[in-house]
Amino acid sequence: VRARAIRVLAAAREDRALDVVVAALDDPEDEVAVAAIRGVGTLAPPDSIARLVPLFAHPSWRRRAAAADALALAGAVGALGDLAELARRDEYASVRGSALVAALRLDPERGTELAAEHWPEVPSGVRLQLVDPANHDEMSAPSLAGKSLPTEELIALYHQSTVDTLHKWHGQADGVG
């Protein structure tokens, strides 16, 4: 309920909602804090970078990934250096991927350079997103258009996605149960 309330408050884009959304950044529940992090990205206050970049050191990978996404939402171009560092050093591939995608959205040229530099370590799902021709207009990353994924990797991604979907249909989140 609290996470949903934060999402609705952020979507309302009212000034008075910002205080509540910002207070929820420190919520002990990841779901609530992640909703608040995305809310800060949506509301894009002038101090977005100061509020979100410190979350790159948070123990929760969900909060670190959400902070990267939120910086892109906020249009925080000033955070590109921090995103590049997160893409280079985070122990979780999904966080590194979120940082790369955020960098691409904020600055397609620098984001493309960063993705190309780390191509072998970029998670398969993120690489698929980056090379998908449907995203090239949106992200303006033409130099990644020449990058590709091995056919075997594409087939494995397809099959894993199918398994994940079947588990969701049968109420077995994340393949457990």
Whether the pLDDT of residue 145 is over 70: the answer is no
Structure tokens at 175: 């393949």
Answer whether 0.75 is exceeded by the pTM: no
Cα distance between residue 50 and residue 41, in whole Å: 12
Cα distance between residue 146 and residue 158, in whole Å: 21
Contact criterion met (CB below 8 Å) for 10 and 45:
no
Confidence at residue 146, expressed as pLDDT on a 0 to 100 scale: 53
3 vs 118 pLDDT, higher one = 3
Confidence at residue 78, expressed as pLDDT on a 0 to 100 scale: 93
Confidence at residue 115, expressed as pLDDT on a 0 to 100 scale: 79
Confidence at residue 38, expressed as pLDDT on a 0 to 100 scale: 94
Confidence at residue 140, expressed as pLDDT on a 0 to 100 scale: 45
pLDDT tens track for 8-40: 888 888 778 888 899 999 999 999 999 999 999
66 vs 127 pLDDT, higher one = 66
Confidence at residue 135, expressed as pLDDT on a 0 to 100 scale: 53
Q: DSSP letter for 144, please.
A: G
Contact criterion met (CB below 8 Å) for 21 and 39:
yes
Confidence at residue 37, expressed as pLDDT on a 0 to 100 scale: 95
Whether the pLDDT of residue 56 is over 70: the answer is yes
**CA 170 → CA 116, 159, 163, 174, distances in Å?**
38, 17, 11, 11
